Amino acid sequence: MAISGEHLGARAGSAELLNGISLNVGSGEVLSVIGPNGAGKTTLLKILAGERRRSAGKLRIGGRHIEDWERSEISKVRAVLPQNSSLSFPFKVREVAMLGRGPHIRFSETRRDREIVGLALEKVGIGRLSERCFTTLSGGERQRTQLARVLAQIWERPENGERFLLLDEPTEGLDISHQHTVLETARELASEGTAVVAVLHDLNLAAQYCDKILVLKEGKQVALGSPKEVLRTGTIRDVYGIEAHISAHPKLRDIPLVVPIGAAGSNGSGRAVSAGAR
Partner 1 sequence: MYEAARIRKNVNGAGGGTRRGLWRTAPARVLAFTFASPAIAILAAALIALLILAVGVGAVEISVPQIFAILASKAGITLPFAYEAQQESVLMAIRLPRVILGLFVGAGLAVSGALLQGLFRNPLADPGLLGVSSGAAFFAVLAIVLGDRFLQGAFAAYSSFGLPLAAFVGGTLTIACVYLIAKRHGSLDTATILLAGIAINALASAGIGLLIFAADDAQLRTITFWNLGSLAGATWQSLLVAVPLMVLPLFLLRNIGRQMNALMLGDAEAEHLGIDTERLKRRMVLAVGLVVGAGVSITGIVGFVGLVAPHLIRLTAGADHRTLLPASALLGSALLIGADLLGRTAVAPAELPIGVITAAIGAPFFLWLLLRKRRA
Q: Which residues are at the interface with partner 1 (CB under 8 A)? A: 46, 49-51, 71-72, 74-76, 78-80, 82, 85-92, 95-96, 99-100, 102-103, 105, 107-109, 111, 114, 131, 149, 153
State in angstroms the smallest separation of the CB of 67 from partner 1: 14
C-alpha to C-alpha distances, 6 to 42, 60, 65, 109, 262, nearest whole angstrom:
17, 9, 12, 39, 35
Which CB atom, from 78 or from 178, has the smaller least distance to partner 1?
A: 78
Give the closest residue to 231 by CA, choosing from 197, 267, 203.
203
Nearer residue to partner 1 within complex by CB, 107 or 177: 107
CB 169 within 8 A of CB 84: no
- Residue 183 Cβ vs partner 1, minimum distance, rounded to whole Å: 21
Residue 36 and residue 217 in contact, taking contact as beta carbons nearer than 8 Å: yes
Contacts 24+ apart (CB under 8 A), 263-272: 264/237, 267/243, 268/243
Phi, psi of 115 (to 5 degrees): -60, -45
Nearer to partner 1, 103 or 127 (CB): 103
* Closer of 28 and 50 to partner 1 (Cβ): 50
Nearer to partner 1, 75 or 185 (CB): 75
Q: SS3 breakdown of the chain: % helix, strand, coil, rounded to 5?
A: 35, 30, 35
Nearer to partner 1, 45 or 206 (CB): 45
- Report, in Å, the least distance between residue 206 CB and partner 1: 24
Q: Closest approach of Cβ 86 to partner 1, in Å?
A: 7
CB of 99 to partner 1, least distance (A): 5
- Buried/exposed 78-113: b ≥16 CB within 10 Å, e otherwise: bbbbbeeeeeeeebebbbbbbbbbebbeeeeeeeeb
Looking at the Cβ atoms of 197 and 257, the one nearer to partner 1 is 197
What burial letters (b/e) apply to 154-191, b meaning 16+ CB within 10 Å? bbeeeeeebbbbbbbbbbbbbeeebbebbbebbbebbe
Q: How far is the CB of 184 from partner 1 (least distance, A)?
A: 23
Shortest spacing between CB 68 and partner 1, in angstroms: 16
